Amino acid sequence: MARLQELAERPTALTGGHRLCPGCGEPIVVRQVLMSTDDPVIAASCTGCLEVSTTIFPYTAWDIPWIHIAFENAAATIAGIEAMYKALKTKAEKGQPLLDYIDPDADYKFVAFAGDGGTYDIGIQSLSGAAERGHDFLYVCLNNEAYMNTGIQRSSATPMGANTTTTPAGSVIPGKRKHRKDLTAIMAAHDIPYVAQSIPGRWRDLTTKAARGFEVDGPAFINVLTPCPLGWRCEPALTPEISQLAVDTCLWPLYEVDHGEWKLNYTPKEKKPIEEYLELQGRFRHLFRDEKGEEVRKRMQEFVDYKWEQLRERCGEE
């Protein structure tokens, strides 16, 4: 495990000068993930904020090989690259000459970065297929809980109560009416080597998990709650703190499933009420106006409590 100073001194594979918003959690997550391995890394992204903001032609912020094909196929894309790498390595093992640009001694790593729309919704088939086939790749979901690139539309990662442009808070309907789905658990149900949840605000947690994700032989999935100041309507400077509050309210627990073993990585000393997290974000402001909003907050708290106990049980916590 590298120390913070060592990590900070590593060359950055995602350079500055990209056009992501101030306070966006995505480049923080991407850098932490990429600095978690010393092996050569090839990255794929789905269509989304990260892709459009880091690559507008003729510029690129990527200092590693990077590809984007479409929206719903980040997993199939990284799987195709990994498949070609495996094919060429296998041919070399059979005695055919390895192409000279491939380092025979290196252990290449493959990572996909995709948003929650490209992962929970339109890309879930591609992800599920690649996970089941057992490609050796790390998939990082930059989960900001809505379609931010197209202007804050709801996804199946959007929490109940959130005001998005397709679940607007109105005089009759108070934002999104359904809870988000538990994609991390869905990925754990694929029985792949490694699944985890993390946040950008805890570098040691995220870099340790990314390193583990790169290390295991087979698919790894890390779901990172990634604040979006624009879509969440929160202070850009508070990105790490808000992500920490998601953890301290048990709304986004830090845990991992390593080869089937569920492990809770962090238990808050005092479980905070969700209001402390919600009130910092404009997307939940309408929930503090009237009784209807109070009712939604109550249901949200009940859901958080239920999921937290379910997780504790899975992790064997007393």
Partner 1 sequence: MPQVKPMEGNQAVAEAMRQINPDVVAAYPITPSTEVVQTFAQFVADGEVDTNFVAVESEHSAMSACTAAAAAGGRVMNATSSAGLALMWEILYITASLRMPVILTVVNRALSGNLNIHCDHSDTMGARDAGWIQIYAENVQESYDNLIQAVAIGEQMDVRLPVMSCLDGFLVSHSYELLQVEDDEAVRDFVGSYQPRYPLLDVANPLTMGPLDLYDFYFEHKRDQWAAYEPAKQAIIDVGQRFDEQFGRSYGLFEEYQLDDAEIAIVALGSMAGTAKDAVESLRAEGVKAGLLKLRVFRPFPAEELAAALSGLEAVAICDRAASYGGAGGPLYAEVTSALYVAGASVPAINCIYGLGGRQIAPDEIINIYRDLERVAEEGQPDQPLEFIGVRSFDKEEHADKYAF
Among 83, 185, 211, 230, binds partner 1 (CB under 8 A): 83
Q: Measured between alpha carbons, how far is 88 from 93 in angstroms, rounded to an integer?
A: 9
Q: Measured between alpha carbons, how far is 153 from 166 in angstroms, rounded to an integer?
A: 5
From the list 58-66, 139-147, 198-206, 236-244, the region that binds partner 1 by CB under 8 A is: 58-66
Q: Any bridge partners for residue 196, and if so which?
A: 222, 256
Using rule CB under 8 A, residue 133 touches partner 1: yes
- Is the distance from CB of 213 to CB of 39 less than 8 angstroms? no
Using rule CB under 8 A, residue 87 touches partner 1: yes
Residue 273 φ then ψ, to 5°: -65, 150
> Which of residues 71 and 252 has its CB atom nearest to partner 1 in the complex?
71
Measured from the CB of residue 54, what is the shortest distance to partner 1 in angstroms? 8
> Which of residues 12 and 60 has its CB atom nearest to partner 1 in the complex?
60
Give, in order, the Cα–Cα distances in Å from 245 to each of 22, 154, 248, 252: 20, 22, 5, 9
Using rule CB under 8 A, residue 311 touches partner 1: no
Among 2, 15, 62, 301, binds partner 1 (CB under 8 A): 62
Using rule CB under 8 A, residue 10 touches partner 1: no
From the list 75-83, 152-160, 219-227, 308-316, the region that binds partner 1 by CB under 8 A is: 75-83
Distance separating the N- and C-terminal Cα atoms of the chain: 29
Q: Output Rg (C-alpha) for the chain, integer angstroms.
A: 20
> Which of residues 60 and 301 has its CB atom nearest to partner 1 in the complex?
60
Tokens 């064997």 correspond to 316
Tokens 């929206």 correspond to 71
Kind of pairing between the strands at 194-198 and 109-115: unpaired
Using rule CB under 8 A, residue 150 touches partner 1: no
Q: Spell out the residues 6+ positions from residue 144 whose beta carbon is closer than 8 angstroms to its own.
A: 25, 26, 115, 116, 225, 226, 227, 228, 231, 232
92-121 residues in contact with partner 1 (CB under 8 A) are: 94, 96, 99, 101-103, 106, 108
> Which of residues 41 and 196 has its CB atom nearest to partner 1 in the complex?
41
Q: Measured between alpha carbons, how far is 80 from 226 in angstroms, rounded to an integer?
A: 27
The 21-40 contact track toward partner 1, x by CB under 8 A, reads: -------------------x
From the list 21-29, 81-89, 188-196, 199-207, the region that binds partner 1 by CB under 8 A is: 81-89
Residues near partner 1, by CB under 8 A: 40-42, 44, 51-52, 55-58, 60, 62-70, 72-73, 75-81, 83-88, 90-91, 94, 96, 99, 101-103, 106, 108, 125-126, 128-130, 132-133
